[in-house]
């Protein structure tokens, strides 16, 4: 086919005539955005993002729908195109209701991912929680004690009962981190850049942490004896033990940050000199001076600043306050001073504040605890004179009584003096805690505000000096909370990195979709759960000690509290293409704002969460469900602006015919469709992604499993073009990969005691007992008395090792999953290998016993074949909706005659001239059958096909039916070779490997058995009457409950190795989470072998695979992704007569416990 030459953005490229502009652009690495395109479905073009300009055409064209033409000149990034995309995005966003990120995170000045780490704690993922916290905050144990937690004020849980205790949960994770050895982030390679940080407080330490993480050399210059700033010198020990702070600072030093203390800029080291030593500077000198009080007598002895008092206490300096102490101010520093005065022995401690308690900026918890400790609150009072004694020392303080007037600029009501009303109190010390300022001495050349703070750009933190950045308490508006200083430092590091890389320092505010309409009425249906109580020292205990007051959560309390999170932020945020594009194109959807009524909906699907308020009507879910899966569970209802995606007939998704495959979720570009969390809390975090192979059915779908720590979050199919399953998976793999983690799994061996009960035992004793009992069975009854069953869910390497163990015991191996394949008795080439893609080129296909819920990948391949004009015929025992891609026939399970009629027609009308063995016997067995119209239609298509295939569903096809299917292939003269013959769809992920490794026997071998060792199977079989039963499995299955010894097992998401899928393709299995047991499945088998005196070989799966490739001809030179060699052809085909009392279908039960569990859950939906 001739290629066409076109030009895209100045790049000469080629493509074929039937390709679209989008197709060719993608092939050549040119990005054209789209939210509605799916190459497997018909073009829809609803999002309007893929618009491009084509030279000579006045209109913008949709790249997804415009075929290329010779000589086209295309521009994808002109101003006109970009404006069009921006406008279309804004229109989509104007109807999009939700929260990209939770309001708690948006409210946090440090932008910590509160919802993320709270959810991880709820899931017991404490290590992952601290990693996420430290991605933004290097001092979580300290900040987790002292932060005024504005995040909790924004927490919507507070509209239901109480906000989630985000602060204490942060502290819990950080304390655990300290106890277990602190997490240190990975440090980038050395950049050979040097940065000086002036100030070792929370802002300076944060800047140093993230700068060092980026690979720079960092030195902190700190004026005080120790680093820590106000965390050390401005917060009392009872709130923040300094040992905690020391641990966190030590980690920063261990990362390679140099901290030089007792260095005053200007006095000890000129500022300009430092600038010359370093490539950049970050100024974070804090606010160390207390603001004065404008009243007479403020210069009296005994009047000190709150910051000075707290610093004296930390430095163990004498602080003789006397019996009566007054603290002026209403913030947290004032409360710290009040409560410290109590602990220093003052008998009367007053807090003087000119507004009411309600207006005090201090945390309510601090105020409450101060009251409990006996602090006397003098509210609506303002000092107007400090009266001295004859020695100039403070003696009394005159207070002006106030009342509240109109609100001031801060929104609080302004205190107004009440004329003529005053109060005189006796005091020995007055502590001023009404504000803080900075001392910029030594910072030569840096521009200052009128308040003596450093002038810094509020977005980029640049100052008037080249390469000098500033943030925290010393900049702009001055003193604030520590988390703001930390947040500014973290942001500043990004701009410092830009500067050091020579890039233009640029800031773009990130765009988030938010909502402000949530109120208590909206959440009234939420069940109320109060916070678990926090252990505190009692008021009497704490008044005389600086010991820490709050004890912290236990792990049980932490998980309970974290579970209260309402999960406001979008679960799909890290994968949402809509918000990604919104930030790329700098959208402003407010210009299209209007009435946007929230849709009220009800849904109870066990696996899929649906939120139509986030839907952008791209139509991908509707089209994929219809065209890829073959179900119409979703559809578009109404027209124009009222259009919505709804389940079929406007009901619930669970009642719509949905087969729970999750394809709709995979194609959704927003958070409108998502996975329902099963067994854990849904946490929108950037997950670890591991490519592996599904361990359920024989399709061997390639999938990406997303994990957080040890938690399996979800499994999604690989990219459409990346694997044979083309983005398709069934619900078992999609929603059941984490089935092993849903509770009840075994983690320790069990052995039956003298009372007949299973009890835990240690591993070695279990291995010894298994070995000895197996030997005893063989010794007493002969080797034929012991049988070993192994599951096709195991990896090839696990099966091989179990087979080795059985051979060492001279025991016969089999599988409860094995059945007799009738086609093997007919065809000369046993084990012929076919790929699913061969189906695409067949022109007539007879499909027996394949249901789309079990075989969605095959169904999708067949739908593609149907579009190419192939004749496809489905015969099933239940109606399955396959009539959309072929002719579907529903018959009884015992209707083998239907297949016999087709066979008879083929026999009578065959074009092949050979006479196969057994032809007359077959003819005789079919003689009594009358050929129906349906049978004639199917037979005629097969006889006249160039590439006919018969597809057998291994889950349902019987021995006699599969033999008859093979008879058909032989009669057609096309029983072997590509695109023809018989293709069996295996029912389990590694059924193929059982045959290759010689595990071919069925349960019939048990007739004379006395003992049985079962590896990974839970058969629907009578296990009574055996002298010894051993079971290895993940859970206490029905088989395990009858066993004498039970070994725990790992499931496929936890093991390494290979599967051989129904195509004969060797596929890699990669562990996605750390194993939950001290031994692998192979390791347990090897240990049993050692006790038997047998060296079974290495536990390394790679070495085992190499050994198998040498020993088994079909595996010779087969690498990962390759197909095994076809079986040997011996003799010629021999037709098998039709069995008169035979069955066409008989369901073969799975012996895989986890597969049965997830299949049962899915059936609850599909049966509706």
| Closest-CA residue to 1049 (of 855, 795, 689, 814) | 795
Q: What is the mean pLDDT of the chain?
A: 93
Work out the average pLDDT over 976-980.
81
Alpha-carbon span 772 to 753, nearest angstrom: 16
d(CA 127, CA 174) in angstroms, rounded, equals: 9
Give the C-alpha separation, 392 to 67, whole Å: 93
The pairs formed by 882-888 with CB atoms below 8 angstroms and a separation of 24 or more are 882/630, 882/847, 882/852, 884/630, 885/630, 885/859, 886/845, 886/847, 886/862, 887/937, 887/938
In this model, does residue 1168 exceed pLDDT 60? no
Taking only the tens place, the pLDDT of each residue in 908-920 is 999 888 899 999 9
Residue environment code for 791-815, b if the CB has 16+ CB neighbours within 10 A, otherwise e: bbbbbbbbbbbbbbbbebbebbbbb
Contacts (Cβ under 8 Å, ≥6 apart) of 287: 436, 437, 438, 473, 474, 478, 479
The predicted pLDDT at position 115 comes to 97
DSSP run (H or E) holding 304: strand 303-305
Tell me: the pLDDT tens digits for 527-540?
999 899 999 999 99
* Dist CA 376 CA 585 (whole Å): 57
- Segment (H or E) for 3: strand 3-8
- Tens digit of pLDDT for each residue in 1131-1153? 789 999 999 899 999 999 999 99
Which residues have CB under 8 Å from 986's CB, separation 6+?
Answer: 697, 698, 792, 954, 992, 1061, 1062
**What is the rounded CA–CA span in Å between residue 735 and residue 738?**
7
pLDDT digits (tens, 9 = 90+) for 475-529: 998 889 999 999 999 999 999 999 999 998 888 899 999 999 999 999 998 999 9
Cα separation, 144 vs 126, in Å, equals 15
Q: What does the alpha-carbon distance between residue 1020 and residue 1038 come to, in Å, rounded to a whole number?
A: 9
Which tokens in the block code for residue 147? 């932060």
Neighbouring CB atoms inside 10 A of 136's CB total: 21
Residue 29: exposed, middle, or buried by beta-carbon count in 10 A (0-12, 13-18, 19+)? exposed
Averaged over 849-860, what is the pLDDT? 91
Q: What span, in angstroms and rounded, lies between the C-alpha atoms of 1103 and 214?
A: 39
pTM of the model: 0.91
Residue 519, SS3 per DSSP? coil
Q: Does 1129 have pLDDT greater than 90?
A: no
How far is Cα 736 from Cα 733, in angstroms, rounded to an integer?
5
| Measured distance CA(703)–CA(735) in Å, rounded | 12
Name the region of 228 (left: φ>0; alpha: ψ -120 to 50; beta: rest): left
Tell me the CA end-to-end span of the chain in Å, nearest whole number. Answer: 49
Q: Is 520 exposed, middle or buried (0-12, 13-18, 19+ CB in 10 A)?
A: exposed
pLDDT at 405 over 80: yes
pLDDT tens column, 106-136: 999 999 999 999 999 999 999 999 999 999 9
pLDDT value at 1128 more than 70: no
- State residue 1167's pLDDT score: 64
Q: What is the pLDDT of residue 830?
A: 61
Residue 601 has pLDDT above 90, yes or no: no
Predicted local distance difference test score (pLDDT) of residue 571: 92
DSSP secondary structure letter of residue 528? P
Give the rounded percent of residues in the chain with a pLDDT score beyond 90: 85
How are beta strands 608-610 and 73-75 bridged, if at all? unpaired
Let me know: does 271 contact 443? Beta carbons within 8 Å.
Answer: yes
**Angle formed by the axes of helices 896-909 and 919-926, nearest 10°:** 130
Q: Are 167 and 147 in contact (CB under 8 A)?
A: yes
Tokens of 66: 């415009």
Distance (Å, rounded) from C-alpha 899 to C-alpha 509? 67
pLDDT digits (tens, 9 = 90+) for 245-283: 999 999 999 999 999 999 999 889 999 999 999 999 999
- Give residue for tokens 């579907």: 888
Q: Are strands 673-675 and 608-610 parallel, antiparallel or unpaired?
A: antiparallel
HEC letters along 650-675: HCCHHHCCCCCCCHHHHHCCCCCEEE
Q: How far lies 865's CA from each of 54, 861, 862, 951, 979, in Å?
A: 34, 6, 5, 14, 12
CA distance 76 to 78: 6
Which residues are registered as beta bridge partners of 387?
A: 396
990-1015: buried (b, 16+ CB within 10 Å) or exposed (e) per residue?
Answer: bbbbbbbbebebebebbeebbbbbbb
Q: Which of 319, 204, 223 is closest to 263 using CA atoms?
A: 223
DSSP state of 719: P
> Are residues 450 and 438 in contact, defined by beta-carbon separation less than 8 angstroms?
no
Residue ranges of domains in the chain, CATH in brackets: 3-77 (3.10.20.740), 103-183+529-562 (1.10.1060.10), 194-288+438-500 (3.50.50.60), 289-435 (3.50.50.60), 588-741 (3.30.70.20), 750-817+992-1115 (3.40.50.740), 822-986 (3.40.228.10)
Average pLDDT over residues 762-789: 96
Distance separating alpha carbons of residues 250 and 254, to the nearest angstrom: 6
- Checking if the pLDDT of 879 tops 60, the result is yes
What is the DSSP-derived secondary structure letter of residue 626? Answer: I
d(CA 931, CA 93): 61
Strand 711-717 and strand 702-708: pairing? Answer: antiparallel
Q: 978: Cβ–Cβ under 8 A, 6 or more apart, which residues?
A: 834, 838
């Amino acid at each position: 086919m001739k290629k066409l030459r076109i030009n895209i953005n100045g790049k000469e490229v080629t493509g074929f005539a039937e390709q679209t502009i989008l197709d060719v652009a993608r092939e050549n690495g040119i990005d054209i955005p789209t939210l509605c395109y799916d190459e497997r479905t018909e073009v829809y073009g609803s999002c309007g993002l893929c618009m491009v300009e084509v030279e000579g055409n006045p209109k913008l064209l949709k790249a997804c729908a415009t075929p290329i033409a010779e000589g086209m000149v295309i521009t994808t990034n002109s101003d006109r195109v970009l404006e069009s995309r921006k406008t279309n995005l804004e229109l989509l966003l104007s109807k999009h209701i939700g929260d990209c990120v939770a309001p708690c995170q948006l409210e946090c000045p440090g932008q910590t991912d509160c919802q993320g780490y709270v959810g991880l704690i709820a899931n017991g993922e404490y290590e992952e929680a601290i990693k996420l916290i430290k991605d933004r905050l290097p001092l979580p144990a300290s900040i987790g004690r002292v932060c005024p937690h504005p995040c909790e004020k924004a927490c919507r849980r507070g509209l239901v009962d109480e906000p989630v205790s985000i602060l204490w949960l942060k502290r819990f994770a950080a304390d655990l981190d300290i106890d277990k050895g602190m997490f240190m982030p990975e440090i980038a390679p050395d950049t050979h850049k040097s940065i000086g940080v002036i100030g070792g407080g929370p802002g300076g330490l944060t800047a140093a942490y993230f700068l060092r993480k980026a690979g720079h050399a960092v030195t902190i210059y700190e004026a005080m004896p120790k680093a820590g700033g106000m965390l050390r010198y401005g917060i009392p020990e009872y709130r923040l033990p300094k040992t905690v702070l020391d641990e966190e600072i030590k980690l920063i030093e261990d990362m390679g940050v140099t901290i030089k203390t007792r260095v005053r800029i200007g006095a000890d080291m000129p500022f300009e000199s430092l600038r010359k030593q370093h490539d950049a500077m970050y100024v974070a000198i804090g606010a160390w001076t207390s603001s004065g009080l404008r009243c007479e007598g403020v210069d009296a002895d005994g009047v000190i600043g709150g910051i000075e008092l707290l610093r004296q206490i930390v430095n163990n300096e004498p602080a003789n306050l006397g019996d009566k102490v007054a603290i002026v101010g209403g913030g947290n520093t004032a409360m710290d001073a009040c409560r410290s005065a109590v602990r220093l022995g003052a008998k009367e401690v007053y807090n003087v504040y000119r507004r009411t308690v309600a207006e005090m900026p201090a945390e309510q918890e601090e105020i409450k605890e101060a009251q409990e400790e006996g602090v006397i609150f003098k509210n609506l009072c303002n000092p107007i004179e400090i009266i001295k004694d004859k020695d100039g020392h403070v003696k009394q303080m005159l207070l002006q009584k106030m009342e509240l007037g109109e609100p001031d600029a801060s929104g609080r009501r302004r205190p107004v003096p009440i004329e003529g009303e005053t109060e005189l109190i006796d005091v020995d010390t007055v502590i001023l805690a009404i504000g803080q300022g900075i001392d910029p001495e030594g910072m030569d050349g840096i521009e200052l505000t009128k308040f003596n703070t450093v002038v810094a750009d509020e977005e980029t933190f640049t100052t008037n000096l080249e390469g000098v950045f500033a943030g925290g308490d010393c900049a702009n508006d001055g003193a604030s909370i520590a988390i703001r200083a930390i947040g500014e430092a973290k942001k500043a590091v990004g701009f410092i990195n830009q500067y050091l890389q020579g890039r233009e320092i640029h800031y773009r505010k990130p765009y988030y979709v938010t909502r402000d309409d949530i109120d208590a009425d909206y959440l009234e249906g939420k069940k109320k759960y109060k916070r678990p109580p926090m252990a505190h020292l009692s008021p009497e205990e704490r008044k005389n000690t600086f010991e820490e007051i709050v004890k912290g959560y236990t792990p049980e309390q932490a998980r309970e509290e974290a579970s209260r999170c309402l999960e406001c932020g979008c679960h799909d945020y890290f994968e949402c293409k809509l918000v990604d594009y919104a930030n790329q194109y700098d959208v402003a959807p407010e210009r299209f704002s209007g009435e946007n009524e929230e849709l009220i909906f009800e849904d109870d699907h066990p696996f899929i969460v649906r939120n139509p308020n986030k839907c952008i009507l791209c139509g991908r879910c509707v089209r994929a469900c219809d065209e890829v899966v073959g179900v119409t569970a979703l559809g578009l209802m109404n027209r124009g602006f009222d259009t919505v995606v709804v389940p079929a007939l406007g009901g619930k998704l669970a009642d719509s015919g949905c087969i729970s495959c999750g394809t709709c979720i995979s194609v959704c570009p927003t958070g409108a469709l998502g996975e329902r969390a099963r067994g854990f809390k849904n946490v929108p975090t950037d997950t670890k992604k591991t490519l592996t192979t599904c361990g359920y059915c024989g399709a061997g779908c390639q999938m990406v499993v997303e994990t957080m720590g040890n938690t399996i979050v979800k499994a999604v199919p690989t990219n459409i073009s990346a694997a044979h399953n083309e983005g398709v998976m069934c619900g078992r793999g999609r929603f059941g990969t984490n089935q092993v983690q849903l509770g009840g799994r075994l983690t320790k061996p069990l052995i039956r005691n003298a009372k007949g009960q299973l009890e835990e035992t240690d591993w070695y004793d279990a291995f010894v007992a298994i070995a000895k009992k197996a030997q005893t069975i063989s010794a007493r009854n002969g080797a034929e008395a012991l049988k070993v069953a192994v599951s096709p869910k195991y990896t090839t390497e696990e099966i091989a090792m179990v087979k080795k163990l059985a051979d060492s015991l001279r025991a016969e191996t089999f599988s409860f999953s094995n059945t007799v394949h009738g086609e093997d008795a007919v065809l000369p080439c046993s084990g012929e290998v076919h790929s699913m893609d061969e189906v695409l080129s067949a022109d007539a296909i007879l499909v027996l016993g394949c249901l789309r819920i079990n075989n969605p990948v095959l169904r999708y391949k067949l739908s593609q074949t149907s579009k190419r004009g192939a004749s496809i015929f489905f015969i099933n025992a239940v109606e399955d909706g396959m009539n959309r891609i072929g002719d579907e026939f529903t018959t009884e399970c015992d209707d083998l005659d239907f297949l016999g009629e087709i066979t008879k027609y083929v026999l009578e009308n065959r074009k092949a001239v050979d006479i196969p063995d057994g032809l007359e016997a077959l003819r005789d067995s079919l003689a009594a059958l009358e050929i129906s119209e349906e049978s004639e239609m199917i037979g005629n298509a097969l006889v006249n096909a160039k590439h006919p295939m018969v597809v057998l569903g291994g889950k349902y096809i019987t021995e006699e039916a599969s033999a008859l299917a093979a008879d058909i292939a032989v009669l057609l003269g096309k029983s072997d070779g590509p695109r023809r013959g018989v293709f069996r769809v295996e029912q389990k992920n590694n059924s193929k490997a059982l045959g290759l490794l010689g595990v071919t026997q069925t349960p019939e071998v048990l007739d004379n058995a006395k003992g049985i060792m079962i590896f990974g199977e839970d058969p629907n079989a009578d296990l009574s009457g055996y002298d010894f039963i051993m079971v290895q499995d993940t859970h206490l299955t029905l088989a395990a409950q009858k066993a004498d010894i039970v070994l725990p097992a790992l499931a496929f998401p936890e093991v390494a190795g290979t599967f051989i899928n129904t195509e004969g393709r060797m596929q890699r299995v990669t562990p996605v989470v750390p194993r939950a047991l001290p031994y692998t499945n192979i390791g347990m088998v090897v240990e049993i072998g050692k006790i038997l005196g047998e060296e079974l070989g290495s536990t390394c799966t790679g070495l085992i695979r190499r050994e198998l490739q040498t020993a088994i001809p079909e595996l010779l030179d087969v690498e990962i992704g390759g197909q095994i060699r076809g079986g040997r052809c011996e003799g010629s085909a021999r037709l098998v007569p039709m069995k008169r009392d035979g069955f066409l279908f008989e369901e073969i039960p799975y012996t895989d416990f986890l597969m049965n569990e997830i299949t049962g859950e899915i059936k609850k939906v599909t049966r509706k």
